[in-house]
Structure 1
Amino acid sequence: MPHTALPFDALRPRLPSPLQEVDDERWARHGVRLLLKRDDLIHPDLPGNKWRKLRLNLQAAADAGHDTLLTFGGAYSNHLRATAAAGRHFGFSTIGVVRGEEHLPLNESLAAAAADGMRLTYLDRTTYRRKTSPEVVGGLRERFGRFYLIPEGGSNALAARGCAALGEELRGAADVVAVACGTGGTLAGLAAGLAPGQRAVGFAVLKGGAFLAGDVERLQREAFGARAGDWELEDRFHFGGYARRTPELDAFAGDFGARHQVVPDRVYVAKMLAGLLALTEEGRFARGTALAAVVTG
């Protein structure tokens, strides 16, 4: 892989992503405006925060002469799928380390990753919890050779720096910006990119996700040298845990799609929107507040 700039412009990413105001009386009755930051429209293969988190990592891999990317994710990981697509577009081999046992046939996410050339391997859940340990990473290097390691969810300092552009695109457009959180990288960058006076709210999609606040702070220190921006984390709206769904969540997502022709995915965006509505109904936001909800994919 030559140490030259990767041809990101060849993908023709849609940047800045569109910002659309929606008319929804559930927010309007509280005097609150709702806007959707359509990061899902950046690119069909690398939507939303996946593009923002991967771009600088891909360039770093190329600069270091790597031709293989290795990363981690659950069986329904959009990150694995996006990394596989990025590898196809930019000439990297890709390896996806999946949490848990192999189940055939592959689900839609893993099937798409495999179709884009990703080699899938599996770690039992106990070993997966130690995926960042020198022993586990060393074993992967012995097995697969030299690779550029991208963390689970793509969240590292480079990802946070890439996501700062999301906040910069929203400067002056909203008072509060909401985003779903799986690993914290998007919130870390988003908050850093916002202007003074703006606030970011992250909605953890994991059960017991309060620990993500520490991860966000760590990522900000690594990326920006200190905690950056005004942000908070909500951990009440996981609807049972990662990739779990309830009849209540399904009904909310279906209704939102019928109202606005934007069907939010149940793993991330629907949980964030449902949580944002609950906070609005609790009176968290003053009348006249403009809320921007990031549609990550």
Structure 2
Amino acid sequence: MVIPSPLERLPEKLGKPFDVELWIKRDDLIHPVISGNKYRKLKYNLLEVNKNNFNHVLTFGGAHSNHIASTAYLCKQFDLKCTGIIRGEEAKQISPTLKASLEAGMDCQYVSRSEYRNKNTPTYLEALQTKYPSAYIIPEGGANELGIKGCEEIVTECKDLTDFDFITVDCGTGATLAGMVRQLQPHQKAIGVQVLKGQDFISNEVEDFSPNYSDKFEIWTAYHFGGYAKFQPELIQFMRWFYDQTSIKLDPIYTGKQFYAVFDQLKNGFFPKGSRIILTHTGGLQGIEGFEERYGLEIYPNEHRRYKK
């Protein structure tokens, strides 16, 4: 476990054409399985489980969920029973994420997408608590107050670079961003890159969790590449280019979209000259295998840079 995670400056040549400094918060190095904001959002939830002597954790996610994989792994380490409410019907060939979660001991309960939409409603949660009376329930993605508390530490760990101007993060929910904005200084701003297609619902979630911070963040909604876990060839090309420049891998579901967005906006002149920008690597590399299987491509091939035919 690497905590605090490293804060590294990216090669000067990447920021020099735009007269900015680019830094990266390497939350991908926290742990090979529970890396990134998944560790942040589970940290205080698991402490609460221990404090109150729960022996069972229940949470929610999809077939490729980093949160599901991380929760399953941690529960195995702490000898806790673990149940995952999984969105969608069970596939004939399960994803690498779910396979690893099952091997870690998670009991995967598949529900229809329509039922899954009720995951945050009081009635549905009460029914689950009745069915699993000994379970500590963690919402999808760890999006509760304890999860947000953990995400505050992404910013506090950047104290050695107190004069940064912007910090960016990929967003599936508003929880990570809600934690980050709480620790920003008056001159600093956070930018969330929404990875799901749709209206700017992330802003509402951030404001629900962290009221009165609306001037501390903005959401970019144009970089979803078709929707969650979808892509266009230019995204993969960018990820390969970034890896060639830095030897740092990104994932195509979250971090690839965030980093693409930042470099696109650098070209568009969004960031003032002289800015110091921190890009948050939220981990999620475990999802690459399932993504490659789904689309029949290699993101980081050893000898070539093309799609499989």
Gaps of 5+ in 1: 1-12
Matched, 1:155 2:166: no
Q: Among residues 227, 244, 267, which one is paired with 1:241 in the alignment?
A: 227
**Alignment correspondent of 2:292:** none
Counterpart residue identity of residue 132, structure 1: N
SS in 1 for 2:200: helix
SS in 2 for 1:35: strand
**Alignment correspondent of 2:298:** none
SS in 2 for 1:17: coil
For 1:294 and 1:283, the matched residues in 2 are separated by 20
For 2:58 and 2:204, the matched residues in 1 are separated by 25
For 1:158 and 1:28, the matched residues in 2 are separated by 39
Deviations 1:142-197 (A, max 9, x none): 44342111111111111111111111112315211000001111111111122231
For 1:228 and 1:188, the matched residues in 2 are separated by 10
Detail structure 1 runs of 4+ shifted over 4 Å in the superposition: none
Question: 1:229 Cα deviation (Å)?
Answer: 7.2
**Alignment correspondent of 2:80:** 92
Once the two structures are superposed, the pairs formed by residues 197-216 of structure 1 within 5 Å of their partners are: 197-216=187-206
Counterpart residue identity of residue 66, structure 1: F
Q: Among residues 143, 156, 164, which one is paired with 1:174 in the alignment?
A: 164
Matched, 1:82 2:70: yes
Q: Cα gap change, 1:135/1:104 in structure 2, threshold over 3 Å: closer, same or farther?
A: same
What's the TM-score, normalizing by structure 2?
0.87
Counterpart residue identity of residue 246, structure 2: H
For 1:215 and 1:236, the matched residues in 2 are separated by 18
**Alignment correspondent of 2:96:** 108
For 1:80 and 1:42, the matched residues in 2 are separated by 17
For 2:236 and 2:63, the matched residues in 1 are separated by 20
**Alignment correspondent of 2:17:** 29
**Alignment correspondent of 1:291:** 277
SS in 1 for 2:59: strand
**Alignment correspondent of 2:35:** 47
Counterpart residue identity of residue 177, structure 1: I
Question: 1:209 Cα deviation (Å)?
Answer: 4.8
**Alignment correspondent of 2:6:** 18
Counterpart residue identity of residue 180, structure 1: D
Counterpart residue identity of residue 35, structure 1: W
**Alignment correspondent of 2:268:** 282
**Alignment correspondent of 1:128:** 116
Q: Cα gap change, 1:208/1:24 in structure 2, threshold over 3 Å: closer, same or farther?
A: farther
Counterpart residue identity of residue 52, structure 2: A
| Maintained 8 Å contact 1:68/1:94 | yes
SS in 1 for 2:109: strand
**Alignment correspondent of 2:287:** none
Question: 1:202 Cα deviation (Å)?
Answer: 0.6
For 1:148 and 1:243, the matched residues in 2 are separated by 29
What's the TM-score, normalizing by structure 1?
0.90
| Maintained 8 Å contact 1:243/1:267 | yes
For 1:133 and 1:146, the matched residues in 2 are separated by 19
SS in 1 for 2:210: helix
| Maintained 8 Å contact 1:175/1:289 | yes
Give the RMSD, CA atoms, in angstroms.
Answer: 1.6
Give the count of matched residue pairs.
281
Counterpart residue identity of residue 268, structure 1: Y
SS in 2 for 1:29: helix
| Maintained 8 Å contact 1:70/1:149 | yes
**Alignment correspondent of 1:68:** 56
Counterpart residue identity of residue 247, structure 1: P
Matched, 1:38 2:26: yes
Deviations 1:34-57 (A, max 9, x none): 111100111222111111111111
**Alignment correspondent of 1:5:** none
**Alignment correspondent of 2:185:** 195
For 1:24 and 1:237, the matched residues in 2 are separated by 25
Deviations 1:262-289 (A, max 9, x none): 1100000010001011111111111111
Q: Among residues 246, 249, 258, which one is paired with 1:272 in the alignment?
A: 258
Once the two structures are superposed, the pairs formed by residues 212-223 of structure 1 within 5 Å of their partners are: 212-221=202-211
Q: After the TM superposition, which of the residue ranges 183-192 and 166-175 deviates more from structure 2?
A: 166-175
Matched, 1:165 2:157: no
Q: Among residues 239, 242, 249, which one is paired with 1:256 in the alignment?
A: 242
